[in-house]
């Protein structure tokens, strides 16, 4: 702007002189207005309001007064000072909307203090003051926001690094107390250790969308929703296909109730809906010192659930006990799998057997397979002829179920 123009005048006196003389009173008015409007300011200690906050407001007012005096917008040096001030507010944990509100309130207080003093011949100056104030806020707000967000990003990177160190300690089986202290976190009584598998989002298979970009978007949504729904700091190492997450619990693992498990099930359903992909989880509850072993078990539970076609959602060890136990190394596994060797090459019989055992009756089986119930009976008799086991009898059904599991495991061994 043209610095040769005369200074703005209000009430027959140069505006910058009037405001400079009233600076302490204006600063107090801004503090009072902020504490009335913004709850976060009411929570600050009185000494901070009277000290650092008031000094910052006075500095901001001086900057604005300088603009009004010279009719020139702030230069880079002045903006750097505002950025540094915003960074300190970020470090103190004051929300960004509160920080930006302070600048707007400051300008408003100045405006309201001078507007009643304007004489008729100073209306043109009042219009100029308003236009310059708008330009001032237009320039200051991005600088303040950038300073604040830069500091928050630095803090976030430090916090994320510390959390990764804590997670590495927990998963590595090393004492996590030192890492927790560094992360500024108190170790909880326990963790829900999640082994997570994430299906593909529909966008990942579209020809007109970059699948890498679609996968990253899915992952961002999943992480954000997991943190939001869990309502506690979640330690996670996730990729678009899944990974591991540790959800702190407020009670020891043995004290978890079915209500707690239902809450986890709801969380997994909701993050799957938000991510737009199926989410399957193997989960084990463990104390901090036992997280490493629990993570290995959770991965095995997830593998078993996926191997046997369990639906998306949460799967605990108790949900897959038989399949899990049969997946352990044992000489009996090969013997069990061999019981159904006579069915090799006849997938129609195998499918009928699997469906019958899962649905628990000839009519539900016939409905799912779109065949007549008599056809189901015929196939079950054929299976008994070939294997020697009656799948309709209690003992035969138990043996054949175990044999099917062993057969599946032999064809799809765990990693």
Q: Compute the average pLDDT of residues 392-397.
A: 80
Give the architecture (CATH level 2) of 329-411: Orthogonal Bundle (1.10)
Q: Compute the average pLDDT of residues 208-215.
A: 88
At 241, the pLDDT band (50, 70, 90 cuts) reads: very high
* Nearest-angstrom CA–CA distance, 404 and 411: 11
* Nearest-angstrom CA–CA distance, 87 and 94: 10
* CA-atom Rg of the chain in angstroms: 34
The pLDDT of residue 313:
95
The pLDDT of residue 266:
93
From the list 257, 281, 259, the residue with the least C-alpha distance to 271 is: 281
Give the burial class of 145: count Cβ atoms within 10 A of its Cβ; 0-12 exposed, 13-18 middle, 19 or more buried.
middle
Which of the residue ranges 3-7, 133-137, 248-252, 283-287 would you say has the lowest mean pLDDT? 3-7
Distance of CA 72 to the CA centre of its chain: 44
Q: Is the pLDDT of residue 93 over 60?
A: yes
pTM here is: 0.56
The pLDDT of residue 414:
47
pLDDT digits (tens, 9 = 90+) for 247-300: 999 999 999 999 999 999 999 999 999 999 999 999 999 999 999 999 999 999
Which of the residue ranges 56-70, 80-94, 106-120, 307-321 would you say has the lowest mean pLDDT? 80-94
From the list 238, 240, 245, 227, the residue with the least C-alpha distance to 201 is: 240
- Give percent of the chain above pLDDT 70: 95
Q: Compute the average pLDDT of residues 175-198.
A: 86
pLDDT digits (tens, 9 = 90+) for 312-348: 999 998 888 777 777 776 667 777 788 888 998 898 9
Q: Where does 189-320 sit in CATH, by number?
A: 3.30.70.270
Topology at the third CATH level for domain 9-154: Globin-like (1.10.490)
Domain boundary assignment for the chain? 9-154, 189-320, 329-411
């Amino acid at each position: 702007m043209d610095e040769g123009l005369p200074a703005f005048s209000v009430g027959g006196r140069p505006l910058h002189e009037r405001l400079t003389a009233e600076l302490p009173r204006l600063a107090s008015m801004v503090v009072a207005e902020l504490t009335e409007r913004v709850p976060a300011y009411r929570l600050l200690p009185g000494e901070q309001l009277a000290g650092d906050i008031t000094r910052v407001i006075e500095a901001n007012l001086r900057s604005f007064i300088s603009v009004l005096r010279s009719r020139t917008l702030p230069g880079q040096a002045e903006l750097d000072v505002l950025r540094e001030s915003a960074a300190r507010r970020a470090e103190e944990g004051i929300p960004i909307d509160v920080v930006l509100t302070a600048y707007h309130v400051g300008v408003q207080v100045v405006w309201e203090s001078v507007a009643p003093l304007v004489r008729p011949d100073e209306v043109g100056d009042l219009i100029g003051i308003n236009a310059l104030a708008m330009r001032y806020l237009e320039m200051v707000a991005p600088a303040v926001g950038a300073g604040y967000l830069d500091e928050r990003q630095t803090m976030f990177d430090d916090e994320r690094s510390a959390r990764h160190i804590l997670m590495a300690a927990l998963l590595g089986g090393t004492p996590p107390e030192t890492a927790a202290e560094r992360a500024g976190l108190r170790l909880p009584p326990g963790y829900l250790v999640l082994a997570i598998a994430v299906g593909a989002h529909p966008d990942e298979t579209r020809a007109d969308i970059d699948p890498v970009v679609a996968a990253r978007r899915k992952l961002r949504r999943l992480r954000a929703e997991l943190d939001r729904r869990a309502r506690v700091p979640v330690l996670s190492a996730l990729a678009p296909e899944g990974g591991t997450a540790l959800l702190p619990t407020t009670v020891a693992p043995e004290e978890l109730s079915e209500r707690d498990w239902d809450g986890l099930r709801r969380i997994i359903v909701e993050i799957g809906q938000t991510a737009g992909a199926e989410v399957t989880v193997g989960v084990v509850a463990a104390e901090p010192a036992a997280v490493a072993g629990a993570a290995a078990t959770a991965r095995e539970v997830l593998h078993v659930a996926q191997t046997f076609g369990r639906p998306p959602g949460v799967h605990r060890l108790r949900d897959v006990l038989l399949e899990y136990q049969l997946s352990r190394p044992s000489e009996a596994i090969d013997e069990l799998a061999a019981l159904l060797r006579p069915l090799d090459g006849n997938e129609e019989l195998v499918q009928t057997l699997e469906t019958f055992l899962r649905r628990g009756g000839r009519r539900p089986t016939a409905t799912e397979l779109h065949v007549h119930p008599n056809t189901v009976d015929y196939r079950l008799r054929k299976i008994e002829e070939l294997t020697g086991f009656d799948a309709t009898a209690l003992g035969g059904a138990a043996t054949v179920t175990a044999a099917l599991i062993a057969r599946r495991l032999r064809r799809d061994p765990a990693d």
